[in-house]
Amino acid sequence: MFEPVAPYQSSLFRVKFATAAWERRASAALRRDVFCAEQGIFAGSDADALDAHAIPICALSTLGGDPDAVVGTVRIHETPDRPGEWWGSRLAVARGHRRVGALGAGLIRVAVSSAHARGCTRFLAHVQSGNAAMFHALHWDSLGETELHGRPHHLMRADLAFYPPMHDPEHGLVTLARNRPAMAA
């Protein structure tokens, strides 16, 4: 008689530094969901010493234009003994939002561009091999393959020429679902 109604899914997302306490908590919870519960890479928690100085970035779904939930996250940090060298890690997108192609790309853009604005001269990440093609499409080069946490990874480097400095990552960018072009916020 009645057709089931699909749950609401936002088509507008804001990708920015996780500045509010709830954004940081939800980003940590999403990482646990993906890396501990779903992928089984870590037992109980994926938190490590980098979290003490890394900058968390979140992708927020919106409802009526207001932030609704953290649906993606990544963290960035500068290598303490190598000024200008930055790393990204723990990129995660909520299971129900992985087909929103713009989320991973938006998280990567804010990560690299905000580091670029802070003096980054080299941006690196260990990327699970299954995601390397997406990074290649976003102007990253593979520097070699390795195994981390029992899984194959690529050590990858971003081409900074494709990531202009973002000087206001606290506001970040707005992106649309289904690979529509991103808009500056």
Residue ranges and CATH numbers for the domains of the chain are 12-175 (3.40.630.30)
Residue type, 118: R
Residues 122, 140 contacting (CB under 8 angstroms): no
Query: Cα(60)–Cα(169) distance, rounded to whole angstroms?
Result: 13
Please name which of 50, 121, 115, 110 lies closest in space to residue 84, comparing C-alpha atoms: 121
pLDDT for 7 equals 57
pLDDT for 94 equals 94
pLDDT tens digits, one per residue of 86-110: 999 999 999 988 877 789 999 999 9
Could you give the C-alpha distances from 134 to 47, 59, 138, 154, 173, in angstroms and in order?
25, 18, 6, 12, 20
Judged by DSSP in three states, 93 sits in: strand
pLDDT for 181 equals 39
pLDDT tens digits, one per residue of 27-50: 999 999 999 999 999 999 999 999
Please name which of 181, 175, 170 lies closest in space to residue 16, comparing C-alpha atoms: 170
